[in-house]
């Protein structure tokens, strides 16, 4: 992997709601009205204004993303990316997952955001296998960064070491 692109990516273990970045990405569902896991944590940390703003957006299709303010978060923006539910791999899940990453990166770039943090999209309640989702996330982000100036810094924020290990292994190889 090109050093310049790799220098723009980091992996951290922690709570995405506490990161001091321009935008955090929410692993959202199509309604954008909160759910479980990271989606729930972001809505709780951001406060009720986030839910009000999300309701005005009218939802988001799988494979796309929408942007809101950060409300009570350190991050000034939240990008809600809707990944696919994993149903065995034969239902365009990989293409939809890559598309939601590209959509989030495009929104960040269009908004002039320099730093963005992604959770492990679709690996919780949507049951996407961790290593497969990681491979798609890394390849999509690397491809984007190779041809775009923004965002300048991408963080993959994993809740546990077990979640982070595939990211660290893929990025070091």
Q: How confident is the model at residue 35 (pLDDT cuts 50, 70, 90)?
A: confident
- Domain range 3-172, CATH architecture: 3-Layer(aba) Sandwich (3.40)
Q: Is it true that the peptide bond before 151 is cis, omega within 30 degrees of 0?
A: yes
Q: Is the distance from CB of 71 to CB of 46 less than 8 angstroms? A: yes
What's this model's pTM, rounded to 2 decimal places?
Answer: 0.96
Strands 77-82 and 65-69: antiparallel
The mean per-residue pLDDT over the stretch 62-85 comes to 98
* Residue ranges of domains in the chain: 3-172
**Greater pLDDT, 14 or 173:** 14
List 7, 15, 39, 161, catalytic entry = 39
Look up 110 and say whether it is catalytic: no
């Amino acid at each position: 992997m090109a050093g310049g692109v790799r220098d723009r990516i980091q992996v951290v273990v922690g709570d995405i709601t506490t990161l001091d970045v321009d935008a955090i990405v929410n692993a959202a569902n199509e309604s954008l009205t909160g759910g479980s896991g990271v989606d729930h944590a972001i809505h709780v940390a951001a406060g009720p204004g986030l839910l009000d703003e999300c309701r005005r957006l009218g939802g988001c299709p799988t494979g796309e993303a929408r942007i809101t303010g950060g409300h009570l978060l350190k991050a000034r923006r939240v990008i809600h990316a809707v990944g696919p539910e994993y149903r065995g791999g034969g239902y365009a899940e990989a293409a939809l997952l890559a598309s939601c990453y590209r959509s989030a990166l495009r929104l960040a770039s269009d908004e002039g955001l320099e730093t963005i943090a992604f959770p492990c999209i679709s690996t919780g309640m949507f049951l996407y296998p961790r290593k497969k989702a990681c491979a798609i996330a890394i390849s999509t982000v690397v491809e984007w960064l190779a041809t775009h100036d923004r965002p300048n810094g991408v963080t993959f924020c994993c809740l546990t070491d077990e979640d982070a290990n595939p990211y660290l292994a893929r990025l070091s190889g």
